[in-house]
Amino acid sequence: MHEAKSQLSRLIEAVLAGESVTIARAGKPVVDLVAHQGRQVVIGLESWEGFQVDPAVFDGADAEVSAPFYEESDT
């Protein structure tokens, strides 16, 4: 572990060059160094390509759906 601390830059370069680096404590492997891989974010589904949303749908609550929640009952 101590050697890894003092050689961290060299170990990182080795990982970036494609080498496998494992850090051990008391002779037992505890950590594998790997190169960071950015996450690919995919928004939506490919099958929805070209799909259009009607903005009028988002202009307010539907009166029929809202009625049971907001109208006063006779009971």
Q: Which residue has the higher pLDDT, 52 or 73?
A: 52
**Is the full-model pTM beyond 0.85?**
no
Q: Is the pLDDT of residue 54 over 90?
A: no
* Higher per-residue pLDDT: 42 or 12: 12
Rg (Cα) of the chain, in Å, rounded?
A: 29
Q: Which helix (H) or strand (E) holds 46?
A: none
Q: For residues 3 and 26, is the Cβ–Cβ distance under 8 A? A: no
Is the predicted pLDDT of residue 74 greater than 70, yes or no? no
Q: What is the pLDDT of residue 48?
A: 72
Whether 19 shows a pLDDT value over 80: the answer reads yes
Inform me whether the pLDDT recorded for 67 exceeds 70.
Answer: yes
